[in-house]
Amino acid sequence: MENNTDTIIGINVTLKGNLHNKGSIQVNGNIDGEVRSDENILIGETATIKGPVIAKKIEISGEVKGLVDASEKLEINSSGRIYGDITAKSLVIKEGAIFVGKSTSSSTPEKQSEQNKEKVKEEEVEKTEAGDNKDKLGFFSKK
Amino acid sequence: MYYYIFDLKKCRKHSQVTDIKNYLASLGISGEFTYPSAAASVEELVDLGLNKKYNTIVGVGGDEIANRIASKLVGQSEVMGLIPLETSNDLNRLIGTGNWKDAAENLRYRRVMETRIGLTANGSSFLTDLNLDLKNPTEVTLEFRDYLVQARATSVVISNFSERIKKIAPDHLDIEVRSAGPKQTGIVSAISGLFGGKKEALGYSVFRARSLRLFTNSQVNLKSGGYVLAKTPQLIESSDEDLRLIVGKKT
């Protein structure tokens, strides 16, 4: 793990500020600020984070006070504690985990774009209908 | 073509200097041989070699002479070579050998690798790593661009090249911190001692950065290859430019 992870915050270490990484992050210490990775974030049992946690995959065994946003998968282990809202495409909460907040499931980009297309169609239909109604009422034909 | 700077402190006997010179001559890569003194430092000798249009400056000695030559040649088109004498393992690994005869052979084959080096604000440089010389757990603060890190550290190592840690970005330094828990006494200390192994593993931190500032409550030495290179507080950064270094075939 030591060699494959971009950044590791050890136990009894305090980090203040925003940690943004392309590679994976492992946290066993304390962070006061935002933690963001383009890959994975692993939050160990001894970790406490006050701030948003954002990554592709997030595994939580420690404590997070703040928003958690996993674009792929969020796993909260039995020792994990989250006090804040979460967003994840796939969510696993193990028995014993504590989660206080609102959960939102993010859908895939394809589904989102399909939904957006449908919304646009609906709006167009509504506009056309509204236009027809306007025309029916004689706004455009009135001389 | 070859300009050699000997660190005589690292030569076991004066006859070793003669042996090295003879071997270089037998390989056909003899050149000008110089020795630092009170009259001319290593850096001044490098300048002299560059003024004389030598394209290869070779240090014969340990980590100190290697680091001092590197600080003058980084960003230059001239190539640096090293014939190691009592060098650190990391430096041996970087150049591909710890044996002076093999290193001399490598000079002849002249395989050049471009590498960044570590720099300190006091004008020193390091090819491998920089160790905070701690006798006891000490409060340290590492200030990075976007965040700062505080720990009661048992060791802090800032690496440009190290066999212990996988380098992820060539233009970044790798910073390893081993932390100790808060001061404990009596029974609490005894109990925590039982779980020491696991805690030790969890007390390992690693950060990657182009630059950092390192602070300690009192001044502490920063050593490279066993000698004092700088002191805290210190700004440490990766060089913007490359050093052209002769390495072994398998490096």
pLDDT in tens, chain B (251 residues): 899 999 988 877 788 999 999 999 999 999 999 999 999 999 999 999 999 999 999 999 999 999 999 999 999 999 999 999 988 999 999 999 999 999 999 999 999 999 999 999 999 999 999 999 999 999 999 999 999 999 999 999 999 998 888 888 999 999 999 998 765 555 555 555 555 555 567 899 999 999 999 999 999 999 999 999 999 999 999 999 999 999 998 76
- Decide if B203 and A19 are in contact by the 8 Å CB cutoff: no
| End-to-end CA gap in chain A | 78
Query: For residue A115, how many other CB atoms are within 10 A of its CB?
Result: 11
CATH number for the segment(s) B125-238: 2.60.200.40
* Contact (CB<8Å) A11/B202: yes
Class of the domain covering B2-117+242-247:
alpha beta
Give pLDDT, residue A138. 41
Q: Assess contact for B87 and B102: CB atoms under 8 A.
A: no
| B151–A8 C-beta distance less than 8 A | no
- Among A residues 27-66, those touching chain B with beta carbons less than 8 Å apart: 28-29, 33, 44, 46
CA-based end-to-end distance of chain B: 24
pLDDT per position as a tens digit, A13-27: 999 999 999 999 999
Q: Which residues in chain B have Cβ-Cβ distances shorter than 8 Å to A39?
A: none
Q: Does A141 touch chain B (CB under 8 A)?
A: no
Structure tokens that stand for A41 in this block: 């974030």
Q: Angle B34-B39-B41 (CA atoms, 0-180°, nearest 5)? A: 60
pLDDT at A140: 42
| Domain edges within chain B | 2-117+242-247, 125-238
Domain residue ranges in chain A: 7-105, 107-143
Give me the pLDDT at residue A84, please. 97
- For residue B152, list chain A residues with Cβ-Cβ distance below 8 A: 12
Of B144, B179, B208, the CB nearest to A6: B208
* Residue-wise pLDDT tens digits, A35-61: 999 999 999 999 999 999 999 999 999
Q: How far is B115 from chain A (nearest CA, A)?
A: 20
Segment A120-139 shows an average pLDDT of 46
